Amino acid sequence: MAGNKRPLPMRLRRLITLSVAGALVIGVTGLFGLPKLLSEHVAQLPDSIQNIADQVQAKPVTIFDPPKYSIDEAGSIWAVVNKQRQISPLKYKPSRLSYPTFPKPKIQNPYGLQLRTEAALAAEQLAASMQEAGLGNLILNSGFRTYKNQQGLYNRTKDTRGLAVAEKLSARPGHSEHQLGLAADFSVQGEGCVIMVCFGKTEAGAWLAENAHQQGFIVRYPRGYKAITGFQYEPWHFRYVGVELATEMKVKAIATLEEFWSLESAPDYAAPAG
Ligand SMILES: [Zn+2]
């Protein structure tokens, strides 16, 4: 058999041809495909970093599932009170109330109002942030109200302006966030529109809507959500829910507590007005 050069069997030749062709294909793909592949990865990199940044910024959802605090108990900073959700216990009064310490108390707290201590501290910080932003003095126009205060306010409005107006403008006693000590009606010195819808259009009002979450406040009755919250737009009424929840709502662009907690909308009271 020596010296007898037999041609390679047909199968083997085919295999070699296929291998060479395959190697060529891989080589060409490698040469031209690799840079493309690389550039795709590079292009994706900023996105991936952005995703990580987003995840870091947005607090993990698990904090809220199950909720860290109750949304039912009046003593919880996450308590949800609306026309369908009465304060429980009905005549609840917060155990810790404080006068916010503002640099100019006579201007900034002209009515000598209190808030729940956490909310009072947050209001002080919010006032300081406003000053830093060059937007002047934050003013507290309404804070904690007792059940009786709210009853008086509601009845006065009812007596002077009629039941329909009272129902529209003031919460029934036992249904006001002010009774929780966690609601604050703000205005800003020199901006005007005190307790008026136009406050939302002032520079300070717009700044508050955009930044108050950093101190744990939300605009509780945003524009266009009356069917859910039961109240018309109130750009002055801020609700303290803590930085964690306020930031989570901002990041997720969820405007109301009802939507955040998947609660029923509360356009009206369960019982007719008496
Ligand atoms: Zn209010």
pLDDT tops 70 at residue 156? yes
Query: What distance in angstroms lies between residue 133's CA and the mean position of ligand 1's atoms?
Result: 24
| Cβ–Cβ < 8 Å for 116, 144 | yes
Looking at the fold, whether 45 and 77 belong to one and the same domain comes out as no
Looking at the fold, whether 77 and 26 belong to one and the same domain comes out as no
Looking at the fold, whether 174 and 71 belong to one and the same domain comes out as yes
Query: What distance in angstroms lies between residue 237's CA and the mean position of ligand 1's atoms?
Result: 4
Looking at the fold, whether 24 and 103 belong to one and the same domain comes out as no
Looking at the fold, whether 134 and 157 belong to one and the same domain comes out as yes
Looking at the fold, whether 99 and 20 belong to one and the same domain comes out as no
Render pLDDT for 238-254 as a digit per residue (tens, 0 to 9): 999 999 999 999 999 99
Q: Which of 32-36, 98-102, 205-209, 229-233 has the lowest mean pLDDT?
A: 32-36
Query: What distance in angstroms lies between residue 162's CA and the mean position of ligand 1's atoms?
Result: 20
DSSP state, residue 109: S
Is residue 23 domain-resident?
yes
Looking at the fold, whether 49 and 183 belong to one and the same domain comes out as no
pLDDT tops 90 at residue 12? no
Which is catalytic among the residues 167, 177, 234, 258?
A: 234
Identify the three-state secondary structure at position 200: helix
Q: Which residue has the tokens 């006032």?
A: 127
Query: What is the arithmetic mean of pLDDT over 157-180?
Result: 93
213: domain CATH number is 3.30.1380.10
pTM flag (> 0.75): yes
Render pLDDT for 111-151 as a digit per residue (tens, 0 to 9): 999 999 999 999 999 999 999 999 999 999 999 999 999 99
Looking at the fold, whether 16 and 138 belong to one and the same domain comes out as no
259 catalytic residue (yes or no): no
pLDDT-derived band at 272 (thresholds 50, 70, 90) equals: confident
Query: What distance in angstroms lies between residue 200's CA and the mean position of ligand 1's atoms?
Result: 14
Render pLDDT for 15-72 as a digit per residue (tens, 0 to 9): 555 554 544 444 444 444 444 444 444 445 455 555 555 555 554 555 677 789 999 9
pLDDT above 90 as % of the chain: 72
How many C-beta atoms surround the C-beta of residue 62 within 10 A?
8
Query: What distance in angstroms lies between residue 17's CA and the mean position of ligand 1's atoms?
Result: 83
pLDDT-derived band at 273 (thresholds 50, 70, 90) equals: confident
Is residue 2 domain-resident?
no
What one-character-per-residue DSSP string does 152-186 give?
HHHHHHHHHH-HHHHHHHSPPTTS-GGGGT-EEEE
Is residue 267 domain-resident?
no
Is residue 272 domain-resident?
no
Q: Which of 6-10, 42-46, 53-57, 215-219 has the lowest mean pLDDT?
A: 42-46
Looking at the fold, whether 101 and 173 belong to one and the same domain comes out as yes
**Residue where a domain stops, chosen among 57, 74, 91:** 57
Query: What distance in angstroms lies between residue 88's CA and the mean position of ligand 1's atoms?
Result: 19
Looking at the fold, whether 20 and 145 belong to one and the same domain comes out as no
Looking at the fold, whether 190 and 105 belong to one and the same domain comes out as yes
Query: What is the arithmetic mean of pLDDT over 139-168?
Result: 95
Identify the three-state secondary structure at position 265: coil
* Nearest residue to 99 via CA among 144, 149, 153, 146: 144
Mean pLDDT (the chain) is 85
Which one is predicted more confidently, 95 or 40? Answer: 95
Domain count, the chain: 2
Is residue 1 domain-resident?
no
Q: Which residue has the tokens 């640099």?
A: 103
DSSP state, residue 30: I
Looking at the fold, whether 196 and 148 belong to one and the same domain comes out as yes
Listed residues: CB within 5 A of ion ligand 1: 185, 237
Full domain range(s) for residue 135 = 62-260
